[in-house]
Amino acid sequence: MAGPSAAVFAPLYRQIRDLLVARLDAGEWKPGELIPSEIELAARFHVSQGTVRKAVDELAAENLLVRRQGKGTFVASHHEPRAQFRFLRLTPDVGDTEPAQSRFLECQRVRPPVDIASRLGLAASESAVFIRRLLLMRGKPVVLDEIWLPGAQFKGLTADRLRAYHGPLYGLFETEFGTHMIRADERLRAVAADAAAAGQLGVEPGAPLLLVERTSYTYGERAVEVRRGLCVTTDYHYWNTLV
């Protein structure tokens, strides 16, 4: 409930953590880059190395930073192999997960529906980029995605640009638009396929589909993507771990 800087009194290590996030947000260190060593950060913030360590530990646990022994601490990037499947929970029932292939059907600037606009924190006058794409796995359509992005942040995003890019979508967003997704909330339900979706996905109208509604956030809990995906779950499933 409380905003990012609601807690005024916080332990030192958490204040350091927040300072580091602010630096990341400001782009002082970009995804994939090395951040200063713990000793250097300790000197800069006038705290002990142990306090910096605890701050960095938290950020590493949240996947904002990646520690590599002997090399240093790096800003997490969606281009790294280990991050590839972090936001893709759809897995084949048998065999290993392989990279999916995207087929972009549509990419336009639109006035977003009110519910989408409010989730993105857009004013009534602001536009959004709307993307429709089909995700293919093993050559077959598996997910039909509708994606909304804040227009101001994603100026110049076109279908051609999407098609020219190869790799994970969040990698493109990170590199070309300076927007790094760090967290996402998802809501899942089962729905019946309408005629349009059925056609795209190659199933019968009325067939059960898994609807995944996602809101993605960047540094500072700012929502920057709303996604609505319809998934065929006959040979794939959505996996999750409860701890």
Residue numbers at the binding site for DNA (CB under 7 A): 11-14, 35, 37-40, 47-51, 53-54, 67-73
- Say how many residues touch a copy of itself, by CB under 8 A: 35
Q: How many residues does the chain have?
A: 243
Q: Which does 49 bind (CB under 5 to 8 A by kind): DNA, a copy of itself, none?
A: DNA
Q: Is 240 in the site for a copy of itself (CB under 8 A)?
A: yes
**From DNA, a copy of itself, none, interface partner of 78 (C-beta below 5 to 8 A by class):** none
Straight-line distance from the first to the last Cα atom of the chain, in angstroms, rounded to the nearest whole number: 22
With binding defined as CB under 8 A, does residue 63 bind a copy of itself? Answer: yes
Q: Of a copy of itself, DNA, none, which one does residue 12 interact with (CB within 5 to 8 Å by kind)?
A: DNA
Residue type, 171: G
Residue closer to DNA by CB (options 53, 89) is 53
Using the rule CB under 8 A, is 207 a contact of a copy of itself? yes
**CA distances for 236 relative to 14, 81, 95, angstroms:** 40, 21, 10
- ∠87-92-93 over CA atoms, to 5°? 130
Q: 144 and 194 in contact (C-beta within 8 Å)?
A: no
Dihedral sign of CA atoms 105, 107, 113, 114 in order: positive
125 binds, among a copy of itself, DNA, none (CB under 5 to 8 A by kind): none
**Nearest distance from C-beta of residue 24 to DNA, angstroms:** 15
Binding of residue 69 to a copy of itself (CB under 8 A):
no
Q: What angle do CA 73, 165, 176 make, to 5 degrees?
A: 50
Does position 188 bind a copy of itself by CB under 8 A?
A: yes
Which partner, DNA, a copy of itself, none, binds residue 51 by CB below 5 to 8 Å per kind?
A: DNA
**What Å distances lie between residue 140 and 91, 100, 101, 103, 192, CA to CA?**
14, 10, 9, 11, 19
Burial class (CB in 10 A: 0-12, 13-18, 19+), 23: middle
If contact means CB under 5 to 8 A according to the sort of partner, which of a copy of itself, DNA, none does residue 207 touch? a copy of itself
Pull the structure tokens for residue 87.
Answer: 């936001």
Nearer to DNA, 32 or 92 (CB): 32
Contact string (CB under 8 A) for a copy of itself, positions 84-103, x = contact: --xx-x--------------
Applying CB under 8 A, the residues found at the interface with a copy of itself are 62-63, 86-87, 89, 182-192, 206-211, 213-214, 231, 233-234, 236-243
